[in-house]
């Protein structure tokens, strides 16, 4: 005759070995030892680049055809590039395309991190405050980084206009769409990719210093087209990337990076909105040529 305790132990053993009623494991997930490797993280990053190149074309090409710019037009690529850069509606359509890009990117990150739902998303990604940095420290660091990056941009770049400035001043619709995306989606999307997927895999493969360096390179390269040809702003983006990746390395968690990035972009967005009544900055023909010519070459390569 079994005692109640012996019967309970027997039932527990049977349930634990049954495929129909598995008892969940209490295994702790380490964000610095992720279930994905660098090849998978790199493929996810490369997929975002493909989206950034081709999704705007999906939005742009039908509008270009309505404006008479079709594949049979003379100097098609030149005409398409100039329409994409000068026509306010065409510019807005390309900005609007960023939203589905961000949404698809989040879906890609979810698939990699959870192995299509088999693992918890937030815990596996390293969501939390971690060591040394809480909410207020992250907010303060975001403010300090904004002003430090502004100083670097001013010293090295001066007032040289960038692609992003032309987009901002092309129309109010483009301006406020960029403000929304920069504040509410970009900090999450970029941190999930760079300090989430890429850094976690790289630091296990080549160490923290190598991971910080390679993430800096990938993050900065992607932002060059936005801020070309202002080397000061590009350097400021590099400073932001280094700081955020060091925060990820020191804290061991991703949440401080997202908050810092959100504060950084939020201040920038607030200043853009506050200056919405300013007149468009003067643009010389030489500046327009210097900005358009590299993109014409890029379109020739891609299309």
CA-CA-CA-CA torsion for 183, 185, 190, 193, nearest 10 degrees? 160
Banded pLDDT at 224 (limits 50, 70, 90): confident
pTM of the model: 0.83
pLDDT exceeds 80 at position 25? no
For the segment 232-274, what is each residue's pLDDT rounded down to a tens digit?
989 999 999 999 999 999 999 999 999 999 999 999 999 999 8
DSSP letters, 57-101, are HHHHHHHHHHTT--TTSTTHHHHHHHHHHH-HHHHHHHHHTHHHH
For 183-203, the pLDDT digits (tens) are: 999 999 999 999 999 999 999
- pLDDT of 178 over the 50 cut: yes
The C-alpha atoms of residue 51 and residue 56 are separated, in whole angstroms, by 8
Tokens read off for 173: 């619709």
Q: Which residue has the higher pLDDT, 122 or 229?
A: 122
Is the distance from CB of 94 to CB of 84 less than 8 angstroms? yes
Contacts of 3 (CB under 8 A, 6+ apart): none
Q: Residue 294: pLDDT above 90?
A: no
Which of the given ranges, 72-81, 115-124, 168-177, 290-299, has the highest pLDDT on average?
115-124
Q: What is the pLDDT of residues 77-110, one digit of tens each?
A: 888 888 888 899 999 999 999 999 999 999 999 9
Reading the block at residue 131, the tokens are: 């060591």
Residues in Cβ contact with 256 at an 8 Å cutoff, skipping those fewer than 6 apart? 129, 130, 133, 137, 138, 141, 247, 248
17-50 burial: b if 16+ Cβ within 10 Å, else e: eeeeeeeeeeeeeebeebebebeebbebbeebee
Quickly list H helices, the chain.
Answer: 4-17, 38-66, 76-86, 88-96, 98-114, 121-125, 135-157, 163-168, 172-184, 186-191, 199-227, 231-251, 255-274, 285-302
Is pLDDT at 207 greater than 60 in this prediction?
yes
Q: What is the pLDDT of residues 27-71, one digit of tens each?
A: 578 899 999 999 999 999 999 999 998 999 999 999 999 999 988
More confident residue, 294 or 147: 147
């Amino acid at each position: 005759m079994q005692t109640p305790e012996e019967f309970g132990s027997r039932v527990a053993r049977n349930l634990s070995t049954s495929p129909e009623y598995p008892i969940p494991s209490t295994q702790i997930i380490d964000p610095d030892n992720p279930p994905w490797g660098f090849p998978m993280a790199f493929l996810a990053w490369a997929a975002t680049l493909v989206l950034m190149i081709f999704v705007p074309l999906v939005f742009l090409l039908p509008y270009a055809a309505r404006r008479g710019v079709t594949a049979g037009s003379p100097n098609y690529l030149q005409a398409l590039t100039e329409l994409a850069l000068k026509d306010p509606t065409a510019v807005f359509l390309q900005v609007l395309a960023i939203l589905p890009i961000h949404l698809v990117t989040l879906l890609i990150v979810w698939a990699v991190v959870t192995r299509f739902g088999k693992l918890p998303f937030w815990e596996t990604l390293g969501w939390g405050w971690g060591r040394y940095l809480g909410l207020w420290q992250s907010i303060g660091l975001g403010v300090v980084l904004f002003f430090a990056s502004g100083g670097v941009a001013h010293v090295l770049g001066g007032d040289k206009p960038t692609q992003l400035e032309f987009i901002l001043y092309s129309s109010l619709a483009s301006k406020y769409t960029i403000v929304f995306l920069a504040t509410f989606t970009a900090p999450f999307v970029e941190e999930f990719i760079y300090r989430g997927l890429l850094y976690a895999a790289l630091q296990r493969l080549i160490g923290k210093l190598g991971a910080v360096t390679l993430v800096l390179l990938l993050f900065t390269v992607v932002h060059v087209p936005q801020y070309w040809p202002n080397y000061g702003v590009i350097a400021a983006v590099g400073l932001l990337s280094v700081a955020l990746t060091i925060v990820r390395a020191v804290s061991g968690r991703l949440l401080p990076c997202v908050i810092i990035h959100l504060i950084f972009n939020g201040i920038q967005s607030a200043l853009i909105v506050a200056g919405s009544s300013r007149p468009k900055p003067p643009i010389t023909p030489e500046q327009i040529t210097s900005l358009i010519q590299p993109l014409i070459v890029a379109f020739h390569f891609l299309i």
